[in-house]
Amino acid sequence: MDVQSLTAVRLGEKIKKKELSAVEAAQAAFAQIAACEKTYHCYVTVEEEKAMEQAEQVQKKIDEGQLTGPLAGVPVAIKDNMCTKGILTTCSSRILGNFVPTYTAEAVKCLEKAGAVILGKTNMDEFAMGSTTETSYYGVTRNPWNPEHVPGGSSGGSSAAVAAGECFYALGSDTGGSIRQPSSFCGVTGMKPTYGTISRYGLIAYGSSLDQIGPVAKDVADCAAILEILAVHDPKDSTSVKREDTDFTSALTGDVKGMKVGIPRDYLGEGLDSQVKETVLKAARSLEFQGAQVEEFDLSLVEYAIPAYYVIASAEASSNLSRFDGIKYGYRTEDYEGLHNMYKKTRSEGFGEEVKRRIMLGSFVLSSGYYDAYYLKALRTKALIKQAFDKAFEKYDVILGPTAPSTAPKLGESLEDPLKMYLGDIYTVSVNLAGLPAMSVPYGIDSQGLPIGVQLIGDSFQEKKIFRAGYGLEQAREDQDLLAPVLRKEGR
């Protein structure tokens, strides 16, 4: 098997056993980047020199016995909305085209402490606003399963990089599905943990009450191992939660006997592609066969999650993105008359269409006269959605459903109609509104040869149940390695 096809944990084992050095692992990643990046464009910035230096230092620490963790020496890619000291951080926006942070995001620091080698920064929808990675100022990313299709978004670069073997795992961020949906489209495993589990310090904010960083990797065991490293309380993030049950890998037993699994009937209705539906039902049968109790139920309120989400996320975005003013960092327009004109021109030239659309919607729903009717109404709806999940989790350990209504669309098909694109988030956004953990696990391939992910949703702080069910699904999956063709060809 080629190095590129290894999971992060397996590569970590090999490095530990001295079968491979951290330097060789990084070299393998850069070789794959050199071979594939022209086609897929997963990265905004590749930092080969820095990474090779870091790999040497990490290997030294491994040799000296200072780094003993499971992922020491394993190369990682970071979504370009997380600050990295000395490395360009653009959020895939023109307005941050020259921004080099003076500090590193806490989540990235956690990885570095565990011996990660940072390869570069992955492409994304501008400011994480989009579902296809087509709103990036730096060009589109292509799906490694078929370059005519999008990788999903907004963490499309991270998911595609994992699928193409251009890194061994990646960090993404998920505000409304931005880890899970591209993971589903790229045939990789991605998790959004419970809100507050991973520090958001240094994550460039989009919708602060919804944003959560999470792992994107080749399998469930990788995600559990990465989350163990990342789930650390951080006093610098006031929403960071102190957790003690962070031994997530202990849930990888492969035993799902007795688990209660609910499938929302409202997730299987109109708008769901029949092949995706069949894959979800196949996953349900597998869990049932392994001894879980599976039943359908009515979750309710599903169709209200998207309007509530777009009000809340846009409102928070309009506030969060007010910091981009052409004064402290980033782009400033060339010609202007006075301060206000400078602000306006800088922002109008620096932001793309989708970002402007959401800032305007957010400013509107927060403006006096509309605040109650839109913003507070959305927050009340959010409370109802949370209640609906609370009720479901009185009965079920996990909820099983599709991650996205379809497989990856072709490039250029989605941006024409923003509202239609937003509807693609129907199965993912409610999880963010309720602050819940959820994971997308690849479970099948459609007739076009594109991967299909299924989603497991857990109650707050119940990631272990998700890992338990997800690992069970993965172990019993027909096709053990759902690798993208680019890795298969080289692997076999």
Partner 1 sequence: MANIISDETIEYVGILSKLELSDQEKEQAKKDMGRMLDYIDMLNELDTSQVEPMSHVFPVHNVFREDVVVNQDQRDEILVNAPEQKDGQFQVPKTVE
Q: Are 124 and 171 in contact (CB under 8 A)?
A: no
Helix (H, G, I), strand (E, B) or coil at 454: strand
Q: Which is nearer to partner 1, 144 or 196 (CB)?
A: 196
Q: Which uninterrupted H or E stretch holds 457?
A: strand 451-458
CB 228 to partner 1: min, Å:
21
- CA distance linking residue 16 with residue 343, whole number of Å: 52
Q: Are 123 and 156 in contact (CB under 8 A)?
A: yes
* 208 among known catalytic residues: no
Altogether, the residues listed in the chain come to a count of: 492
- The one catalytic residue among 131, 154, 199, 318: 154
CB 435 to partner 1: min, Å:
3
Q: Which is nearer to partner 1, 146 or 239 (CB)?
A: 239
CB 345 to partner 1: min, Å:
6
CB 7 to partner 1: min, Å:
32
Q: Which is nearer to partner 1, 113 or 380 (CB)?
A: 380
* 154 among known catalytic residues: yes
Give the burial class of 439: count Cβ atoms within 10 A of its Cβ; 0-12 exposed, 13-18 middle, 19 or more buried.
Answer: buried
Helix (H, G, I), strand (E, B) or coil at 189: strand
Q: Where are the alpha helices (DSSP H) in 324-427?
A: 338-350, 353-366, 377-395, 418-423
- Bridge partners of 457? 399, 438
- CA distance linking residue 475 with residue 481, whole number of Å: 10
The CB density around residue 254, as the number of other CB atoms within 10 Å, is 11
DSSP class of 413:
S
Q: Which is nearer to partner 1, 68 or 341 (CB)?
A: 341
Q: Which is nearer to partner 1, 64 or 335 (CB)?
A: 335
Q: Which is nearer to partner 1, 234 or 397 (CB)?
A: 234
- CA distance linking residue 257 with residue 137, whole number of Å: 48
Lookup: tokens for 471: 């690992």
- The one catalytic residue among 5, 159, 173, 178: 178
Q: Which is nearer to partner 1, 1 or 339 (CB)?
A: 339
Helix (H, G, I), strand (E, B) or coil at 419: helix
Q: Is the dihedral of CA 15, 20, 21, 27 positive or negative?
A: negative
The CB density around residue 276, as the number of other CB atoms within 10 Å, is 25
CB 113 to partner 1: min, Å:
18
Q: Which is nearer to partner 1, 297 or 370 (CB)?
A: 370
DSSP class of 372:
I
Residues 6+ away with beta carbon under 8 Å from 470: 189, 220, 223, 439, 441, 456
Residue numbers of the site for partner 1 (CB under 8 A)?
98-100, 102, 195-196, 209, 235, 238-239, 241, 301, 303-304, 306-308, 310-311, 318, 322, 325-332, 336, 338-345, 347-348, 351, 356-357, 359-361, 363-365, 367, 374, 376-384, 386, 418-419, 434-435, 460
* 183 among known catalytic residues: no
Q: Are 453 and 403 in contact (CB under 8 A)?
A: yes
Angle, CA of 438, 439 and 441, to the nearest 5°? 155
- The one catalytic residue among 5, 14, 79, 159: 79
Angle formed by the axes of helices 353-366 and 305-320, to 10°? Answer: 100
**So which residues are the catalytic ones?**
79, 154, 178
